[in-house]
Amino acid sequence: MFKKFNTIGDEEKAVVNEILDSGLLSKYVGQWGEDFLGGPYVRKFESACEDYFEVKHAIAFNSWTSGLVASLGAIGISPGDEVIVTPWTMSATAMAILHWGGIPVFADISPEDFCIDPAKAVEKISARTKAIMSVDIFGQSADTHALMKIAAENGIKVISDTAQAPGAKSRNRFAGTLTHMGGFSLNYHKHIHTGEGGVLVTDDDDLALRAQLIRNHAESVVAAAEIQDISNMVGYNFRMNEIEAGIGLVQLTKLERVLQKRNTETSYLVENLSNLKGLIMPKVSRDNTHAYYVIAFQVEPSIIVTHRDEIARKLSNFGIPNISTNYENLHLLPIFQQKIAFGKDGFPWNFNGSPDDYDYKKGICPVAEDMNDNRYLGFYANEFELLESDLEFIVKGFHEVWRTLEFF
């Protein structure tokens, strides 16, 4: 029961052996020229991603965290610049902002889809705002159409962190491609699995070039590449190797099957659990499709007396694995509560004045906080094959647990 989901097969083994036999595991060099952009499999994988996601540029990285750092550097983040971001995301999203001395400003999430609420984001815009970091959490696009409208009206950029939603769509366009820059994670439990890795996508030629430069020791090549604006041309080794790229090339061909599987499993669970009193089903926003990295239920405290944590304990005791009761409220992490990141003097929060000017106390994102404390009940289905018998077992477990709950 609950066999681990594994999409690695003979095709991936064959391409890895081909790369090993070639002896060329990476072809990057840190100087301007043809090999500055990597080896043949990196190029093939990037080209395949450009075709699949219908973008001008796909840029492979050793992780999506690196892709986030590069994307923020590419748009010109400077110390003291503010970037509006959701608290309901993995810490790398906000850490990429801090990396450049930018200051994360947290805007609350929508109770419908767990993504950043555009109405809350616009309230956070100041003269120092440089960008909005949108996160397509759990598998569907945030309201990037509204966010892009806000950005156009305020002269700022939008970056999509689409780590969990490759292949999901909004208005028939792929999530991650609807903003100035976006991208996907390829680490071990993601839809496309290369071990570690990430892909940045954009239609902007200049932003693509700047991200490529940051990926590979930018400071060494800006003269040869005749780059005029050398701001943030501080380079790194964020390079993907040939083996990861070869695996990614094969994995990309399996993405639609993975998405179909996730949607079939979720549809079954929603159909058979939607009659449970006080259990709110995951919602797919209008014009969106969903990749279901997480199947995100909610418990309604006004209906169910039993606390969400006790419900989760009962479900786990029944034998249902990967039940989650919290995700992240990043603003409550010690790094933001104490405003200590680089050194001990409060940088970057002290760049514009006093660190006290930035408020991260509990209460600034009440929807995200309530989700974390009382409502969110997630099932990480992505790690399992989920046979029909597994789905039946999960449904049985929910129904049996619900019979033990106390209701208002």
Amino acid code (one letter) for 30: G
Confidence class for position 216, pLDDT limits 50, 70, 90: very high
Q: How many domains does the chain have?
A: 2
Residue 1 has pLDDT above 90, yes or no: no
Look at residue 235 in the predicted model and tell me its pLDDT.
Answer: 85
CATH number of the domain within which 226 lies:
3.40.640.10
Residue range of the domain that includes 371: 255-327+365-402
Confidence class for position 353, pLDDT limits 50, 70, 90: confident
Q: What is the DSSP string of 299-353?
A: E-TTTB-S-HHHHHHHHHHHT---EES----GGGSHHHHTT-SBTTTTBTTTSSS
- The stretch 205-225 carries a mean pLDDT of 97
Straight-line distance from the first to the last Cα atom of the chain, in angstroms, rounded to the nearest whole number: 35
Last-in-domain residue among 233, 254, 275: 254
Quick check: 181 and 61 in contact, CB under 8 A? no
Look at residue 179 in the predicted model and tell me its pLDDT.
Answer: 98
Look at residue 67 in the predicted model and tell me its pLDDT.
Answer: 98
Residues 63 and 196 in one domain: yes
Confidence class for position 312, pLDDT limits 50, 70, 90: very high
Distances (CA, A) of 267 to 262, 372, 395: 9, 24, 12
Residues 246 and 271 in one domain: no
Q: For the segment 245-264, what is each residue's pLDDT rounded down to a tens digit?
A: 999 999 999 999 999 999 99
Q: Of 169, 166, 172, 130, which Cα lies nearest the Cα of 58?
A: 166
Residue ranges of the alpha helices (H) in 54-117?
A: 64-74, 91-99
Residues 202 and 272 in one domain: no
Contacts of 72 (CB under 8 A, 6+ apart): 83, 96, 97, 99, 100, 102, 131, 159
CATH number of the domain within which 309 lies:
3.90.1150.10
Does residue 52 lie in a domain region? yes
Look at residue 323 in the predicted model and tell me its pLDDT.
Answer: 97
- Three-point CA angle 119, 121, 125, nearest 5°: 120
Residue 52 corresponds to which tokens in the numbers above?
A: 């699949």
Residues 250 and 151 in one domain: yes
Q: For the segment 17-71, what is each residue's pLDDT rounded down to a tens digit?
A: 999 999 999 999 999 998 999 999 999 999 999 999 999 999 999 999 999 999 9
Q: What is the DSSP string of 210-268?
A: HHHHHHBTGGGTTTTTT-S--TT----B-PPPHHHHHHHHHHHTTHHHHHHHHHHHHHH
User: What b-and-e string marks burial along 60-97, b requiring 16 or more CB atoms within 10 Å of the CB?
Assistant: bbbbbbbbbbbbbbbbbbeebbbbbbbbbbbebbbbbb
Residues 275 and 201 in one domain: no
Quick check: 314 and 404 in contact, CB under 8 A? yes
Q: Of 195, 185, 125, 176, which Cα lies nearest the Cα of 153?
A: 125
Quick check: 215 and 29 in contact, CB under 8 A? no
Last-in-domain residue among 210, 239, 254: 254
Quick check: 161 and 168 in contact, CB under 8 A? no
Last-in-domain residue among 230, 254, 278: 254
- The stretch 133-137 carries a mean pLDDT of 98
Residues 248 and 261 in one domain: no
Residues 112 and 58 in one domain: yes
Does residue 238 lie in a domain region? yes
Residues 207 and 316 in one domain: no
Residue 407 corresponds to which tokens in the numbers above?
A: 């209701």
Does residue 69 lie in a domain region? yes
Residues 313 and 172 in one domain: no
Does residue 356 lie in a domain region? no
Average confidence score pLDDT of the chain: 97
Does residue 334 lie in a domain region? no
d(Cα 318, Cα 340) in Å, to the nearest integer? 42
Does residue 106 lie in a domain region? yes
Residue with tokens 């418990």: 299
Does residue 200 lie in a domain region? yes
Look at residue 379 in the predicted model and tell me its pLDDT.
Answer: 97
pTM above 0.75, yes or no: yes
Residue/partner pairs of 347-352 with CB below 8 Å, 24 or more apart = 347/79, 347/101, 348/79, 348/80, 348/98, 348/101, 348/102, 348/103, 349/103, 351/79, 351/80, 351/101, 351/103, 352/80, 352/103, 352/128
Look at residue 287 in the predicted model and tell me its pLDDT.
Answer: 93
DSSP percent split of the chain into helix, strand, coil, nearest 5: 40, 15, 45
Quick check: 221 and 31 in contact, CB under 8 A? yes
- The stretch 306-316 carries a mean pLDDT of 98
- Percent of the chain residues topping a pLDDT of 90: 95
Residues 94 and 165 in one domain: yes
Residues 228 and 272 in one domain: no
Q: At how many degrees (to 10) do helices 242-252 and 40-53 cross?
A: 30
- Percent of the chain residues topping a pLDDT of 70: 100
Does residue 333 lie in a domain region? no
Residue 382 has pLDDT above 90, yes or no: no
Residues 164 and 183 in one domain: yes
